[in-house]
Structure 1
Amino acid sequence: MKIHKEGRRILFFTLLILLVVNIFMFQLNAANRLVNQLIAGASVIVFLLLLQFFRSPYRNLLLHEDLIIAPADGKVVVIEDVEEPEYFKDKRKQISIFMSPINVHITRNPVSGIVKYFRYHPGNYFVAWHPKSSTKNERTTVVVESTAGPEVLFRQIAGAMARRIVWYVKEGDEVSQGEEFGFIKFGSRVDIFVPLDTEMKVELGQKTKGGQTVIAQLKTPGSSFFG
């Protein structure tokens, strides 16, 4: 397992700060071994938590043009028909995946195709499962014209802990299913909007793995992966 590039700088400075704090406290409380051990133990726990947050595990990606693959690790918290007001401006099926602080926070392209639309929206930091987070929080919106035909919209949404969304795509880019399109630092959520006739392959509460879990299948003349 490797460490994601978005975490290397944070981990370096966190380690530096923790070392300085521990050296200072050791000099201040040289005679109190228990206090020093507690501080050292807490420092190790903090660093390990950050380390696991920025992990970038190897994934054997599942690729198929008719399928929509989970863009993130997490849990399915929404499957419903909604009005999508930003791009489609009509009814779409929404699938939302909540990413807790212990999940891998890499976000991946759910389909292959061409990026037709991209927008970054600064905003608030409601908890990621709040109904208003999809339209009020800091977020990005990406629309890809999939190689299967239909357009798929996916949205990175910052949560209460997150304060920075990172993205690696722009309009006109050709993207490949399963490749990284961004990273969200700390708790967050990803919304996917697909045509109403898309066949769901996940249920509420189901856990997902980015790049591997099939969440839906697009209705196209060649839709045959699942028979």
Structure 2
Amino acid sequence: MKMHETFIKPMHPEGRKFVAIFALITFGLFMLWDVLGWIGVGLTVWCYYFFRDPERVTPERPGLIISPADGMVSLIEPAVPPAELGLPATPLTRVSVFMSVFNCHVNRAPVAGRVSAVAYRPGKFFNASLDKASADNERNGVVIEMADGRLLPVVQIAGLVARRIVCFVKPGDALGRGERFGLIRFGSRLDIYLPEGVVPSVRVGQTMVAGETVIAELGQ
């Protein structure tokens, strides 16, 4: 890897208009006062950094469930998947990954399979690190059906700052493990509901890397 590639990451196309807006505002700030202009430069660089979309090396070993998001594991607990996904009301182990405004916000498929359902539900904007965010906040759920027929729901949840969930997939689409399926703008969380009997191999407080960190193994 070249030196500049260590610090300059590709930007997801979703971020282009936001960086352009920040840059235009910065130009105006320079017209008013240089100090404000340089603050604008810092915010523009941060906006570019927020929408970074680095390449990831996804483990290829069969049976792995990979983190769909960068961030920190904030909760591991039994919970029923959102009702709008049409799944049985059976509690499953839910692993929540909280993304701060400094994390990469591109979301990646935790497993390979076919998208069997996508369901959006508007809601509130509580801090995404709180437990009630899973029930009350704006969210978008994606259910992935794996080759063995098991289902894995992954839910994008808007946070206190995030107000826009973007999903790139629709029912019937095929996803590879680690493939990009969406993003959330400016701070949020992802919930992964593990299939029955699957035990997480991560702990609360652990740092996750989307597309690379192993959350659990499916087993037989």
Alpha-carbon separation, structure 2, partners of 1:195 and 1:113: 14
CA distance in 1, matches of 2:173, 2:62: 17
Q: Output the aligned Cα RMSD.
A: 1.3
SS of match in other structure, 2:46: helix
AA matched with 2:178: G
Deviations 1:62-96 (A, max 9, x none): 23441100001000011112233522311101000
Say whether residues 1:56 and 2:65 are aligned partners: no
**1:43 alignment counterpart:** 40
Contiguous gaps of at least 5 residues in structure 2: 1-8
Alignment of 1:4-83 (within 5 A): 4-23=12-31, 25=32, 36-83=33-80
Q: Give the Cα–Cα distance (whole angstroms) in 2 for the partners of residues 2 and 84 of structure 1.
A: 34
Mean Cα deviation higher: 153-162 or 76-85: 76-85
In 2: Cα distance, 1:88 partner to 1:75 partner: 28
1:150-207 CA-partner distances (Å, limit 9, x unpaired): 2101000000100100001111111111010001001100000012310321111000
Q: Is the 8 A contact 1:80 1:95 kept in 2?
A: yes
SS in 1 for 2:16: helix
Counterpart amino acid of 1:101?
A: V
Over 3 Å counting, the alpha-carbon distance change for 1:123 and 1:85 in structure 2 is: closer
- Gap change, CA 1:206 and 1:148, over 3 Å in 2: farther
**One-letter code aligned to 1:40:** G
- Taking every aligned residue pair, what percent have the same amino acid on both sides? 39
Contact persistence 1:160–1:187 (CA under 8 A): yes
Q: Within 5 A, what are the aligned runs for 1:47-196?
A: 47-86=44-83, 87-196=87-196
Note if contact 2:115-2:170 (Cα within 8 Å) is conserved in structure 1: yes
Cα 1:53–1:85 shift into 2, 3 Å = closer
CA deviation after TM superposition for structure 1 residue 43, in Å: 1.3
Could you state the TM-score of these two structures normalised by the residue count of structure 1?
A: 0.88
Moved over 4 A (4+): none
Structure 1 or 2: more strand by fraction: 1
Q: In terms of Rg, which structure is larger? A: 1
Asked if 2 retains the 8 angstrom alpha-carbon contact of 1:66 and 1:218, the reply is yes
Q: 1:106·1:180 contact (CA, 8 Å) conserved in 2?
A: yes
The question of whether the paired residues in 2 share the 8 Å contact of 1:14 and 1:47 is answered with: yes
Q: For 1:52, what is the secondary structure of its paired residue?
A: helix
State the alpha-carbon separation in 2 of the partners of residues 64 and 200 from structure 1.
17
